[in-house]
Chain A
Amino acid sequence: MDDAAKLKEFDDRIARGEIFEPKDWMPERLRKQLIRMMSQHAHSEVVGMLPEGNWITRAPSLRRKMILLAKVQDEGGHGLYIYSGVESLGVRREDLIDELHAGKAKYSSIFNYPSLLWSDMGAIGWLVDGAAIVNQTTLAKCSFGPYARAMIRICKEENFHKKQGYEILSTMMAGTPAQRAMAQDSINRWWWPSLMMFGPTDKDSPNSIDLMRWGIKRKSNDDLRQRFIDMTVPQAHAIGLTIPDPALKFNKETGHWEIGPINWEEFFNVINGNGPCNKERIAARKHAHDEGKWVREAAVAYAQKHSSLERRAA
């Protein structure tokens, strides 16, 4: 079979709603896009540990501290699930991580904003994980088996991430005026970046066409963003938070909340490396990797010791 015939067969499979696996024939362009998209997603999970890691030692109670630790550990796990999926396409995790550390790989722009207040832990859990859930729930139905399976696993774990964030904010909103102001401050800073997480508006999203054609993306960036907005605005109002958008209004005819313009210049600026924390994030990842070197060496020494003991015993 020549490539045109194979492509036709692959398109037909996707049209029938079939799931494909790493060893199946797939268009080379798709393989590259999958490696790019999944590795960016994995990097986002791993870099995403940093803004929250910043507050673990300063959590206001032991309960909050245990929750935050567990959440951050989950995010590390999410990174591993997805790296494991990308490796099925014949790339090495170590090379992907090297690219991240060399500043050559992208990750979600949201993690380049600083976490300045405890209430930011609430805003991140509720908004950032909330947006991630909307995105990941559709990816869980995507056509590439390893990606879909990683997403199903992740979605099961995300709900507590969102709920603990909302709990932090609703507790603060029931507190003193200073606590309420702090919660509102966090929403003012995290609302717009959360909306940008869904990526550029559809007409400016060059990779979307292939990814939609082959069933990886099943909903457009704008559709997913709208779903998130419609779900989130009433949750904000329920606890007395104000969405920082003077143009926000409910359209009774469509049943959707309509927002003001998104500052895409800021988005492209952050994604291209000039956000408030881009350099700090990469430096922190490299530092963690270098500081972990002795652990990796110790693991190898431990394995060697055991294998030589076993050989002597045999």
Chain B
Amino acid sequence: MASATNTTASADWPMWEVFVQLELGEPHQHAGNVHAPDARMALLNARDVYSRRGLVKSMWVVPSETITASTPGENGEFFEPGNDKLFRHPQFYKSPKGVGNLE
């Protein structure tokens, strides 16, 4: 994680996004972010800020600059391929009467 290590004042400490898992088996969820000079201390800071009540089962920190996000203004075209394929949903299909629910 040397690339995210910074050597100057705390103002320039990189930002880390914090993800927490609240129940075993559940996905990790975004909780917020922290500033820290390296990953190890980011995790310690994240623990102090985002799990003061011990409800967290697992925690990730990720350098904020490494996250690539979709662009809100282009959501329409970007997510379009998923919107017009009703046949991906089970409700699209009809079964003959009497066979009941195929699911």
B10's contact among A80, A94, A157, by CB below 8 Å, is which? A94
- Known contacts: A23-B69, A94-B10. The answer to whether A303 contacts B52 by CB under 8 A is no
Q: How far is the CA of A261 from the CA of B24 in the complex (A)?
A: 54
Question: Quick one: CB contact mask for B30-48 with A, threshold 8 Å, 1 for yes?
Answer: 0111111110110000001
Residues of B within 8 A of A307 (CB): 1-2, 5, 38
- Do B41 and A302 touch across chains, with their CB atoms under 8 A apart? yes
Question: Is B91 interfacial (CB 8 A cutoff)?
Answer: no
Question: Is B7 interfacial (CB 8 A cutoff)?
Answer: yes
Main secondary structure of the interface of A (DSSP, over half): helix
- Known contacts: A93-B35, A94-B11. The answer to whether A80 contacts B2 by CB under 8 A is no
Residues of A135-160 contacting chain B, CB below 8 A: 149-150, 153, 157
- Do B41 and A299 touch across chains, with their CB atoms under 8 A apart? yes
Q: Could you tell me the distance in whole angstroms from the C-beta of B23 to the nearest C-beta in chain A? A: 16
Interface residues on B, range: 20 to 34
Residues of B56-103 contacting chain A, CB below 8 A: 69, 71-73
Residue of B nearest to A289 (CB): B10
- Do B32 and A300 touch across chains, with their CB atoms under 8 A apart? no
- Do A77 and B10 touch across chains, with their CB atoms under 8 A apart? no
Residues of B within 8 A of A3 (CB): none
A80's contact among B11, B34, B37, by CB below 8 Å, is which? B34
- Please report B residues at the A interface, Cβ cutoff 8 Å: 1-2, 5-11, 15, 31-38, 40-41, 48-49, 52-53, 69, 71-73
Q: Apart from A93-B35, A300-B8, A303-B41, what 11 extra A-B contacts exist at CB < 8 Å?
A: A23-B69, A25-B72, A77-B48, A77-B49, A94-B9, A299-B37, A303-B40, A304-B5, A304-B7, A307-B2, A310-B2
